[in-house]
């Protein structure tokens, strides 16, 4: 037969075994649960990926619908006459050139307007006087002569030069007046720049040069208002130049109209694209193919965001709508969001590489449809929120989590119970070993006394009779004590095993107690204790095992003496007790009171357990076995009674045995 290993046979290995029996299946269950959870998570990720993909397809369809319906409108020639929606402009590129509705919606145009310009030759003589011979008087006279010509272009050109010469001559007020005169002329240009725009900038420059801050601010603000209202059809370099000058003159008050600039950038892109197609800059075949079907859409990244261009038409006439991001957000994104539900959607500029990661901050596979694939102006990215309830999957996960939690709680509780059991065992083992040590000590004292008196009596034949008697009495006391001890330990063993025989007979509790007190007085004779005993008159008959009850009272007396300090008094009383419940049988109370070290309230109940000793007792170095009170309680309980304790540290204690009186 296989041998059981030694460590398994040891009583201490039982909790260990039990722990293993509980913990192993629990660990296996937890591991299984975690694996299941992982699988579920992976499944959920897959489900979410699929949901994101189908949401992306739905968004593509919804946006295609929107874009196509716009493209259809574009093909209608009457469309250009309608008022464009806010955030959009309409663009028409035909043989007549570029037409924009509303015209003021662009900060600049791909090409400036062609305003009439005066012929440069007319001013040759005046300019020679101004720049070559530097005869400013002459130049002024010549320009004044030209200014009276009826031709508006020559008139305006002459005035501009006149003002310039006056400024050089430092006749600022006159120069200012001439510039002001030019401020209302917006249909003539010099070198492609409207005359009034030149004049108004010159006015600002004059105000700055002459240190008139208020005048500069007023003129610059007015110029800015007109620039942003689209008074002039400028090309990009001119617009940038004026805007840059304004920002220098106005500082924090300078305002650039971001929407008009975005619109201008998008229209510029579109005009360039259409121009190239028509000019056939691309490979001729594709250019022709595309020119025949010039329909499409694109998002254009502008300085401030994204604009969308949708165009349709014929090779001769291409109509387009340019929409700013806010229009997209207002008109098209809701349709995309509705189609994406329950997923979320992000529309980003076609060439934007950022969306996939930016949109799905969750790190989960998102549904991505690049513009190059769909032909739409956006790259579409959909994502399914992590917290989205995936129906049965989520329910299963919840169930699993609850199950796992339950298993963990079970294991923790089991572990705790095993731990507590183990701790109690260790504590009991320690108490037992303390008990053995204490009992040995208790035995040693009377044995030592006996052997000493034996020696004295053996050696001393000539001892006086009185001494000899005293020694014999001491020997007798030690023997009684030894006997008590042995009986006490044996009785305790029997009580623990439930084998202590009790023989109940009617006993007068008063007599029994006074007998015990007398014996006890003899026992402690010479130690300076006063043991008072008061027995009330009346019937104190109880059904008792006299010997056992004798031991219980003795133990209480023994403790009273052991735990007394300087005040060596013990009071014993026997009286009728007030019954615990009204109507119950009368009771007899035997109380033993001392004035010793007392017991803290928290310790009081525990001291009736076997081997348990109070902290005060051990701290004071008072020897004991820890079984006295346990025995007393056992005995009293066998009599159907109870022991009460009232005690206060450093004041004293009263232990009271209460037993029902026998009915005579
Ligand atoms: P032992 O006295 O041998 O230690 P007991 O079971 O008789 O064991 O008493 C248990 C503990 O109760 C004692 O160790 C002591 O701390 C406390 N105790 C009992 N009686 C008294 C008393 N009269 N005064 C103070 N403490 C007491």
Cα–Cα distance between 257 and 224 in angstroms, integer? 10
pLDDT of residue 306: 81
| CA-to-CA separations, 164 to 267, 373, 593, in angstroms, rounded | 36, 59, 126
Q: Quickly state the pLDDT bin for 378 (edges 50, 70, 90).
A: confident
Q: Listing from the earlier edge strand, what are the strands of the sheet with 569-577?
A: 530-535, 569-577, 587-594, 652-660, 642-648
Asked whether residue 134 falls in the same domain as residue 223, the answer is yes
551 confidence band (pLDDT: 50, 70, 90): very high
What is the three-state SS of 565-597? CCCCEEEEEEEEECCCCCCCCCEEEEEEEECCC
* Each residue's pLDDT tens digit, 208-257: 988 999 999 999 999 999 999 999 999 999 999 999 999 999 999 999 99
Tally of residues, the chain? 664
Question: Over 70: is that where the pLDDT of 13 sits?
Answer: no
Tens-digit pLDDT profile for residues 421-454: 888 888 888 888 888 888 888 888 889 988 988 8
∠ CA 443-449-454, nearest 5°, is 125
What stretches of 359-402 adopt beta strand conformation (E)? 367-369, 378-383
Nearest atom (ligand 1) to Cα of 655:
23
Q: Which residue has the CA at smallest separation from atom 20 of ligand 1?
A: 559
Residue 441: what pLDDT? 83
- Better-predicted residue by pLDDT, 25 or 90: 90
Say whether pLDDT at 358 is over 80.
no
Q: Which residues contact 216 (CB under 8 A, 6 or more apart)?
A: 204, 207, 208, 249
Site to substitute for ligand 1 among 599, 600, 606, 636, most atoms within 8 A of C-beta: 599
| Residue 628 CB less than 6 A away from ligand 1 | yes
> Which has more pLDDT, 150 or 15?
150
Predicted local distance difference test score (pLDDT) of residue 583: 76
Q: What number does the ligand 1 atom closest to the CA of 560 have?
A: 23
In a domain? residue 74: yes
- Among 256, 271, 286, where does a domain finish? 256
Q: Is the pLDDT of residue 91 over 80?
A: yes
Query: Contact 634/495 with Cβ under 8 angstroms?
Result: yes
pLDDT, tens only, 573-605: 999 987 777 778 899 999 999 999 999 999 998
238 and 100 together in one domain: no
Q: What pLDDT, on the 0 to 100 scale, is given for residue 353?
A: 47
pLDDT at 7: 57
Identify the top-confidence range among 369-373, 473-477, 643-647: 643-647
Measuring from atom 15 of ligand 1, which residue has the nearest CA?
614
Structure tokens at 261: 């600039």
**What's the confidence (pLDDT) of residue 569?**
97
554 lines ligand 1 (CB under 6 A): no
| % pLDDT > 90, the chain | 42
State which H helix or E strand residue 576 sits in.
strand 569-577
Query: What's the confidence (pLDDT) of residue 15?
Result: 63
How crowded is the C-beta side of 330, counted as CA atoms within 13 Å? Answer: 9
Report if residue 432 sits inside a domain: no
Helix (H, G, I), strand (E, B) or coil at 193: strand
Per the structure block, which two tokens stand in for 12? 């201490």
Q: Which atom of ligand 1 is nearest to the CA of 617?
A: 16
Per-residue pLDDT at 30 exceeds 60:
yes
Q: Which two tokens stand for residue 53?
A: 């993909």
Q: According to the model, what pLDDT value does residue 410 have? A: 82
Same domain, residue pair 249 and 373: no
Ligand 1, atom 8: closest residue by C-alpha: 626
Q: What local confidence, expressed as pLDDT, does residue 202 receive? A: 93
The predicted structure's pLDDT at residue 111: 81
Q: Is residue 98 part of a domain?
A: yes
Measured CA to CA, the distance from residue 204 to residue 217 in angstroms comes to 8
Decide: 110 and 283 in contact? Cβ < 8 Å: no
Range from 5-9, 39-43, 621-625, 638-642 carrying the lowest mean pLDDT: 5-9
636, pLDDT greater than 90: yes
Same structural domain, 252 and 266:
no
End-to-end CA distance of the chain: 67
Closest atom of ligand 1 relative to the 629 alpha carbon: 6
- Name the residue among 531, 650, 552 with its Cα closest to residue 608: 552
Residue 67 contacts residue 73 (beta carbons within 8 Å)? no
Task: Please tell me whether residues 241 and 278 are part of one structural domain.
Answer: no
Query: Ligand 1 centre from 624 Cα, in Å?
Result: 8
Q: How far apart are CA 309 and CA 329, in angstroms?
A: 15
Give a yes or no: residue 526 inside a domain.
yes
What token pair was written down for 168?
């050089």
How many A from CA of 597 to the centre of ligand 1?
10
Strand-pair partners of 308: 299, 323
Q: What is the mean pLDDT of the chain?
A: 85
> Which helix (H) or strand (E) covers residue 310, if one does?
strand 305-313
- What local confidence, expressed as pLDDT, does residue 350 receive? 63
Ligand 1 centre distance from Cα of residue 578 (Å): 26
Helical H runs in 460-537?
465-497, 509-523
Nearest to 267 by CA among 313, 330, 310: 310
**Percent of the chain surpassing pLDDT 70:** 90
For residues 102 and 154, membership in a common domain is answered with no
- Mind listing the pLDDT tens digit for each residue in 105-141? 999 998 877 888 898 899 999 999 999 989 999 999 9
Highest mean pLDDT range out of 28-42, 336-350, 522-536? 522-536
Distance from the CA of 623 to the center of ligand 1, in angstroms?
10
pLDDT tens, residue by residue, 150-208: 998 999 999 999 999 999 999 988 999 999 888 877 788 888 899 999 999 999 999 99
Rounded to 10 degrees, the C-alpha dihedral 614/481/588/631 comes to: 50
Residues sharing a CB contact under 8 Å with residue 230, sequence separation 6 or more, in sequence order: 103, 104, 105, 106, 107, 260
Q: How many other CB atoms are found less than 10 A from the CB of residue 141?
A: 14
The residue-averaged pLDDT of 346-371 equals 63
Structural domain range at position 237: 120-256
CA 542, 545, 551 angle in degrees (round to 5)? 110
Q: State whether residue 501 is helix, strand or coil.
A: coil
Question: Could you tell me the pLDDT band of residue 81, with boundaries at 50, 70 and 90?
Answer: confident
The reply to whether ligand 1 has any atom less than 6 angstroms from the CB of 652 is no
Rounded CA-CA distance 599/589 in Å is 21
Q: Check pocket membership of 230 for ligand 1, CB cut-off 6 A.
A: no
Co-location of 516 and 631 in the same domain: yes
DSSP 130: I
**Where a domain ends, among 351, 368, 383?**
383
| Whether residue 629 has its Cβ less than 6 Å from ligand 1 | yes
Burial class (CB in 10 A: 0-12, 13-18, 19+), 47: middle
How many whole angstroms from 562 Cα to the centroid of ligand 1?
8
564-574 tens-digit pLDDT: 999 999 999 99
pLDDT of amino acid 53: 92
**Same domain, residue pair 319 and 277:** yes
Residue 495 inside a domain? The answer is no
Question: What distance in Å separates the CA atoms of residue 631 and residue 488, rounded to the nearest whole number?
Answer: 9
Instruction: Report the greatest alpha carbon distance in the chain.
Output: 173
297 lines ligand 1 (CB under 6 A): no
Query: Which of the listed residues 596, 601, 628, 655 should we mutate to test ligand 1's pocket, taking the one with most ligand atoms within 8 A of CB?
Result: 628
Whether residue 169 lies inside any domain: the answer is yes
Would 411 be classed as within a structural domain?
A: no
Q: Of ligand 1's atoms, which has the minimum distance to the CA of residue 612? A: 10
Measured from the CB, is residue 560 less than 6 Å from ligand 1?
Answer: yes
Q: Ligand 1 pocket, 313 CB below 6 A? A: no
User: Is-contact 127 135, C-beta < 8 A?
Assistant: no
Is residue 638 very low, low, confident or very high in pLDDT (cuts 50, 70, 90)?
A: very high
Indicate if 310 and 212 belong to the same structural domain. no
Confidence of residue 364 (pLDDT cuts 50, 70, 90): low
> If you take atom 25 of ligand 1, which residue's CA is the nearest one?
598
* For the CA of 594, the nearest atom of ligand 1: 23
Q: Do residues 585 and 661 make contact, with C-beta atoms less than 8 angstroms apart?
A: yes
Q: Are residues 164 and 308 in the same domain?
A: no
| Per-residue pLDDT, 129 | 93
Does 441 map to a domain? no
For residue 276, the CA-to-ligand 1 centroid distance in Å is 111
Distance separating alpha carbons of residues 349 and 392, to the nearest angstrom: 38
**DSSP state string for 640-655:** T-EEEEEEETTTEEEE
CB of 624 shorter than 6 A to ligand 1: yes
The protein residue with its alpha carbon nearest to ligand 1, atom 17, reads 614
Tens digits of per-residue pLDDT, 44-76? 788 888 889 999 999 999 999 998 888 888 877
Residues 509, 638, single domain; the answer is yes
Phi/psi class of residue 257: alpha, beta or left (left: φ > 0; alpha: ψ in -120 to 50)? Answer: beta
> Best substitution site from 431, 607, 621 to test ligand 1's pocket, by max atoms within 8 Å of Cβ?
607
Q: What is the CATH classification number for the domain harbouring 210?
A: 1.25.40.10
Ligand 1 center from residue 616 Cα (angstroms): 9
Of residues 418, 391, 417, 409, the one with CA closest to residue 29: 409
- Whether the pLDDT of residue 42 is over 60: the answer is yes
| CB of 446 sitting under 6 A from ligand 1 | no
- Average pLDDT score over residue span 262-289: 62
The CA-based dihedral angle spanning residues 392, 396, 399, 405, taken in that order and rounded to the nearest 10 degrees? -150
| 518-540 confidence digits (pLDDT tens) | 999 998 988 999 999 999 999 99
Q: What is the C-alpha to C-alpha distance for residues 632 and 638, in angstroms, rounded to an integer?
A: 10
Among protein residues, the one with the nearest Cα to ligand 1's atom 13 is: 613
The CATH number given to whatever domain includes residue 639 is 3.30.565.10
Q: What tokens appear for 646 in the block?
A: 């009232």
Judged against a pLDDT cut of 70, whether residue 291 lies above it is answered with no
pLDDT, average across residues 16-39: 78
630 CB near ligand 1 (under 6 Å)? yes
Per-residue tokens: 515 = 């007998």
Q: Is 552 in the pocket of ligand 1 (CB under 6 A)?
A: no
Number of domains in the chain: 3
On the question of pLDDT at 278 being above 60, the answer is no
* 56 within 8 A of 455, measured Cβ to Cβ: no
* pLDDT value of position 365: 58
Q: Which of 324, 349, 383 is the last residue of a domain?
A: 383
Do 213 and 138 lie in one domain? The reply is yes
């Amino acid at each position: 037969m296989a041998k059981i290993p030694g460590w398994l046979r040891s009583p201490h290995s039982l909790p260990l075994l039990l722990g293993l029996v509980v913990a192993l299946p629990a660990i296996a269950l937890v591991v299984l649960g975690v694996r299941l959870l992982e699988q579920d998570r992976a499944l959920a990720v897959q489900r979410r990926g699929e949901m994101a993909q189908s949401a992306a397809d739905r968004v593509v369809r919804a946006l295609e619908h929107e874009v196509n319906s716009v493209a259809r409108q574009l093909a209608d020639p009457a469309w250009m006459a309608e008022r464009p929606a806010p955030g959009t402009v309409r663009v028409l590129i035909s043989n007549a050139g570029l037409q924009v509705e509303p015209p003021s919606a662009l900060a600049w145009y791909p090409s400036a307007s062609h305003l009439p310009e005066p012929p440069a030759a007319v001013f040759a003589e005046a300019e020679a006087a101004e720049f070559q011979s530097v005869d400013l008087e002459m130049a002024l006279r010549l320009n004044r002569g030209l200014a009276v010509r009826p031709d508006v272009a020559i008139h305006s050109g002459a005035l501009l030069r006149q003002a310039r010469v006056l400024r050089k001559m430092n006749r600022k007020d006159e120069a200012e007046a001439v510039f002001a005169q030019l401020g209302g002329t917006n249909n003539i240009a010099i070198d492609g720049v409207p005359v009034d725009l030149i004049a108004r900038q010159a006015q600002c420059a004059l105000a700055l040069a002459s240190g008139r801050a208020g005048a500069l601010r007023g003129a610059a603000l007015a110029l800015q208002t007109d620039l942003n209202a689209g008074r002039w059809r400028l090309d990009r370099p001119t617009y940038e130049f004026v805007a840059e000058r304004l920002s220098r003159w106005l500082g924090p008050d300078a305002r650039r109209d971001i929407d008009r600039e975005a619109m201008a950038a998008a229209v510029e892109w579109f005009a360039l694209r259409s121009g190239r197609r028509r000019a056939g800059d691309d490979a001729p075949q594709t250019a022709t193919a595309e020119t025949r079907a010039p329909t499409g859409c694109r998002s254009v990244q502008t300085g401030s965001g994204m604009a969308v261009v949708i165009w349709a038409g014929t090779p001769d006439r291409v109509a387009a709508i340019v929409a700013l991001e806010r229009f997209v957000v207002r008109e098209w994104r809701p349709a995309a969001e509705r189609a994406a539900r329950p997923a979320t959607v992000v529309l980003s500029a076609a060439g934007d590489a950022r969306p996939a990661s930016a949109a799905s901050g969750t790190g989960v596979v998102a549904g991505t449809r690049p513009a190059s694939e769909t032909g739409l102006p956006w790259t579409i990215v959909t994502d399914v929120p992590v917290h989205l309830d995936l129906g049965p999957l989520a329910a299963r996960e919840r169930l699993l989590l609850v199950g796992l939690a339950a298993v963990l709680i079970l294991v923790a509780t089991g572990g705790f119970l095993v731990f507590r059991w183990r701790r109690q065992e260790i504590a009991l083992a320690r108490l037992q070993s303390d008990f053995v040590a204490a009992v040995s000590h208790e035995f040693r004292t009377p044995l030592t006394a006996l052997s000493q008196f034996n020696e004295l009596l053996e050696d001393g034949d000539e001892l006086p009779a009185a001494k000899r008697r005293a020694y014999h009495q001491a020997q007798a006391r030690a023997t009684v004590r030894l006997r008590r001890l042995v009986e006490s330990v044996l009785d305790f063993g029997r009580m623990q095993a439930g084998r202590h025989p009790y023989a109940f007979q009617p006993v007068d509790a008063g007599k029994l107690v006074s007998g015990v007190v007398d014996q006890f007085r003899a026992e402690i004779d010479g130690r300076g204790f006063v043991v008072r005993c008061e027995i009330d008159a009346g019937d104190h008959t109880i059904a008792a095992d006299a010997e056992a009850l004798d031991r219980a009272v003795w133990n209480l007396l023994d403790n009273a003496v052991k735990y007394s300090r300087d005040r060596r008094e013990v009071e014993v009383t026997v009286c009728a007790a007030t019954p615990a419940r009204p109507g119950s049988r009368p009771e007899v109370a035997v109380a033993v009171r001392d004035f010793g070290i007392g017991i803290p309230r928290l310790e009081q109940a525990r001291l009736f357990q076997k081997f348990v000793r109070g902290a005060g007792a051990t701290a004071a170095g008072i020897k004991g076995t820890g079984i006295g009170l346990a025995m007393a309680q056992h005995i009293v309980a066998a009599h159907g009674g109870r022991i009460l304790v009232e005690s206060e540290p450093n004041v004293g204690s009263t232990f009271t045995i209460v037993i029902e009186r026998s009915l005579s």
